[in-house]
A = this chain, B = another copy of it.
Amino acid sequence: MNATAETELLMLPGPVPVAPRILRALSKPMINHRGPEFKQLLDSVLEKLQPVFRTENDVLVLSGSGTCAMEAAIGNIGRGKTYASVENGKFGERLKTLGSLYGRSVPVVTDWGASIDLAAVVAALDSGADAITLIHNETSTGMTNNVEKIGTLCRKYDALLIMDGVSSIGGMEAEIDKWGVDIAFTGSQKCLGMPPGLSMITVSERAWDLIRDAQKRPYYADLVAHKKSADKGQTPYTPTLPLFFALEEALKMLEEEGLDTRITRHSIYAEAIRAASRAMGLELFPQVNELSTYSDTVTAIKMPSGIKFATLSEEMRRRGVIIAGGQERLKGTIFRISNMGHVSKGDLLQTVEKLELVLLENGVVNEKGAGTLTADCALEEL
């Protein structure tokens, strides 16, 4: 039987489980988006977002998902620019597509799940790329790229650094200013533990210079229009009000927990999933080296032989836990478990326990309880 949405545990890398108090905030009656109440709300969330991004630069909120911000990041920079498009997963590929749509893209591609090819990045910069685009935390492969190293290179070549922080900002170490990131963005339905619908984007002074000079900018996601309106406590077009109410509450919750505590929690959660996976004889998907680490927000595990993803996900779903599969070329070869959003230790343990049960029943693992016990031990650190 179908589990109902009320009881399904979404261990997906978005949408993530949302805390009841954030869900309740969505239901507030409408307000005038040109009035003082909205101004107060916007001023407050923009101020609170800067420390989440660890930046002194402007942060803006767009009424659209992470992809909206991704398009804004590249589309606002101006036509005719050359982007060194680092790709080692599905979202890196999307940045490459956007680079070609708005300018010229020099692809810097490695296998999905493999680490960045630093020599190829240098070659792209040598050939005169204006900007590097890359994903900080590749949701599709469960791998975190070392942005700091790329940031150092960008400064050396005076190139712009555009970073997708959709599944990292607000839940992993993401040092926008320290790493020299010019444009970074995230989505509401990831580390902030909100429903999908908003994205947040930060812009450095030197990125602003390029954006202001751009011959053409997108209209709905025009960052100059957003900045001009934000300075008056407004948005250029009608904002998705319920999500702004939710954002205010989500940022309150983040302040209460503390960003560092949340980062540590995510790291312990993810380590518990990784340790449990290894204990069950499963193999992690990413090929990490000095330019990468396993992601602390989403874990990608190779599909073990003896079970298909369709069976695994359906049997998990019947037990009330929703997990993600591989996307596009990774379909059928990996499965993914996220630990973002309103996920308790119990939720995490339950996920591992049910995974172990399904794998046992399907003869994929033989030893009973090794995974669950390992996760339980790892979670004791919290």
Q: Is the CB of A196 within 8 A of B322?
A: no
User: Is A26 part of the binding interface, using a Cβ–Cβ cutoff of 8 Å?
Assistant: yes
CB-contacts of A221-252 with B (<8 A): 221, 236-243, 246
A32 to chain B: closest residue by CB: B322
Query: Given A23-B29, A27-B27, are A322 and B242 neighbors across the interface (CB < 8 Å)?
Result: no
Give 16 A-B pairs besides A10-B30, A15-B30 with Cβ atoms closer than 8 angstroms: A2-B37, A5-B31, A8-B32, A10-B31, A12-B32, A14-B238, A15-B32, A23-B29, A30-B189, A63-B64, A63-B65, A65-B238, A65-B240, A67-B236, A71-B220, A97-B219
User: Is A16 part of the binding interface, using a Cβ–Cβ cutoff of 8 Å?
Assistant: yes
User: Is A28 part of the binding interface, using a Cβ–Cβ cutoff of 8 Å?
Assistant: yes
CB-contacts of A62-88 with B (<8 A): 63-68, 70-71, 75
User: Is A17 part of the binding interface, using a Cβ–Cβ cutoff of 8 Å?
Assistant: yes
A320-361 vs B, CB cutoff 8 Å, 1 = contact: the mask equals: 001000000000000000000000000000000000000000
In-complex Cβ contact of A197 among B16, B66, B71, B243 (8 A) = B243
Find chain B residues with CB under 8 A from A15 CB: 30-33, 238, 241
A37 to chain B: closest residue by CB: B5
In Å, the complex CA distance between A237 and B17 comes to 18
In Å, the complex CA distance between A35 and B313 comes to 11
Candidate in A8, A16, A196 with the most chain B CB atoms within 10 angstroms: A196
Q: Is the CB of B30 within 8 A of A238?
A: no
CB-contacts of A86-118 with B (<8 A): 97-98, 101
CB-contacts of A12-56 with B (<8 A): 12, 14-18, 23-24, 26-33, 35-37
Subset of 12 A-B contacts with CB under 8 Å: A5-B31, A8-B29, A8-B32, A10-B31, A15-B32, A26-B27, A63-B197, A64-B68, A71-B219, A71-B220, A196-B239, A196-B240
Find chain B residues with CB under 8 A from A75 CB: 219
A238 to chain B, nearest CB (A): 4
Q: Is the CB of B197 within 8 A of A98?
A: no
Find chain B residues with CB under 8 A from A10 CB: 30-32
In Å, the complex CA distance between A238 and B189 comes to 9
In Å, the complex CA distance between A220 and B28 comes to 28
Q: Is the CB of B216 within 8 A of A64?
A: no
In-complex Cβ contact of A29 among B6, B37, B66 (8 A) = B6
A278 to chain B, nearest CB (A): 27
Query: Given A65-B237, A101-B216, are A31 and B8 neighbors across the interface (CB < 8 Å)?
Result: yes
Find chain B residues with CB under 8 A from A241 CB: 15, 195-197
A323 to chain B: closest residue by CB: B32
A72 to chain B: closest residue by CB: B220
A234 to chain B, nearest CB (A): 13
Q: Is the CB of A196 within 8 A of B33?
A: yes
User: Is A180 part of the binding interface, using a Cβ–Cβ cutoff of 8 Å?
Assistant: no
User: Is A258 part of the binding interface, using a Cβ–Cβ cutoff of 8 Å?
Assistant: no
Find chain B residues with CB under 8 A from A70 CB: 219
Find chain B residues with CB under 8 A from A128 CB: none
User: Is A187 part of the binding interface, using a Cβ–Cβ cutoff of 8 Å?
Assistant: yes
Q: Is the CB of B220 within 8 A of A67?
A: yes
A235 to chain B: closest residue by CB: B65
